[in-house]
Amino acid sequence: MIPTWLTVSDEVQAALAERRPVVALESTLIAHGLPWPVNLETARESEAAVRAAGAVPATVAVWHGVPIVGLNSAQLEELATSKRAFKASRRDLGAAVALKRLAATTVSATMALAHAAGIAVFATGGIGGVHPGDQMDISADLTELARTPVLIVCAGAKSILDLPRTLECLETLGVPVFGYRTDRFPAFYVAESLLPVSCRVDSPGEAAVAFAAHVRMGGRGAVLAQPCPAEVALGEAEFAEVWRFAEHDAQEAGVRGAALTPLLLARLAELTAGRTLSANRRLVVENARLAAEVAVAGS
């Protein structure tokens, strides 16, 4: 039963009622993660990839106070061009609704709204995690994974994070990390870190049954981590070098909290002459495609 406070598009409602596969997509990358017009192009490419794989896309946002699962084309474009869209984490959903904000949803907020609609598979670029230098600076993505039964298909955690502590936190929270055709945890722009995943799966079907078993036995969320395509990925040493410059600039600017990640991503794009932007765009679309394949396999 879809709650009365949540609006679900007719197409998504019909698919859910008919038990057809649906994939949720987040909207922060549209409003805050990618520049215009790459943001809108990537959002539309992601939806097209989901459809091509046999599932229905459901992009999620808060639309002037109304939580929506399944934005239409005009809403996607307005969100992509808005200069005032609020960035809503799980914590912020109530305020965004009460104050009638236009809000792009982060991973944690998208998970919560997708689950409320009855959607179990969600695609994004990379999850949040533990930030370097401050073990208490932990993304709400991790705690939401511990309480919400949604499979997140991603390129691992963002390369700018403390990946060992992020994986330790996920283990503590009981969140499995499935590596898609890899034994090593992907690091967003970097195809693989040296860190192991908790389990490897080699097909969408294996991912679907592993997640179903996890939930059936009382588990909640899970991560399906797919490496960034090799032809656009950065090498580990190359990324480490540009990261040092980006981190220094952020420290000099005194930026922290929710504004930190968008600043770092923008600076990395500048330092790599747009290569991180190209990698981000490509991996987002590939994750959407894989999520649809998993949703189809599990339907």
User: What is the structure's pLDDT at 175?
Assistant: 98
pLDDT score of 256 more than 90: no
For range 274-299, the mean pLDDT: 96
pLDDT score of 1 more than 90: no
Within-domain flag for 2: no
The overall average pLDDT reported for the chain is 94
Q: Tokens 């394949």 map to which residue?
A: 293
Beta strands 56-63 and 66-69 are antiparallel
Give the pLDDT band (50/70/90) at residue 257: low
Give the pLDDT band (50/70/90) at residue 252: confident
Question: Over the stretch 68-90, which tens digit does the pLDDT of each residue have?
Answer: 999 999 999 999 999 999 999 99
Give the pLDDT band (50/70/90) at residue 158: confident
Within-domain flag for 1: no
Q: What are phi and psi of 138, to 5 degrees?
A: -115, 130
Question: Over the stretch 87-105, which tens digit does the pLDDT of each residue have?
Answer: 999 999 999 999 999 999 9
What percentage of residues in the chain have a pLDDT greater than 70?
98
pLDDT score of 126 more than 70: yes
- Tokens matching residue 55: 């599932």
Within-domain flag for 207: yes
| Residue 154 to residue 108: CA distance in whole angstroms | 13
Question: Over the stretch 172-217, which tens digit does the pLDDT of each residue have?
Answer: 999 999 999 999 999 999 999 999 999 999 999 999 999 999 999 9
Within-domain flag for 138: yes
CATH of residue 122's domain is 3.40.1790.10
Q: What are phi and psi of 33, to 5 degrees?
A: -90, -30
Contact 56, 22 (CB under 8 A): yes
Catalytic residue numbers, as ranges? 26, 158
Per the structure, the complete domain to which residue 131 belongs is given by 7-297
CA 260 to chain centre: 17
Nearest to 71 by CA among 22, 126, 27, 41: 27
| Residue 28 to residue 251: CA distance in whole angstroms | 23
Q: What are phi and psi of 91, to 5 degrees?
A: -60, -30
For range 244-256, the mean pLDDT: 81
Total domains present in the chain:
1
Separation of first and last alpha carbons in the chain: 18
Contact 160, 128 (CB under 8 A): no
User: What is the structure's pLDDT at 11?
Assistant: 98
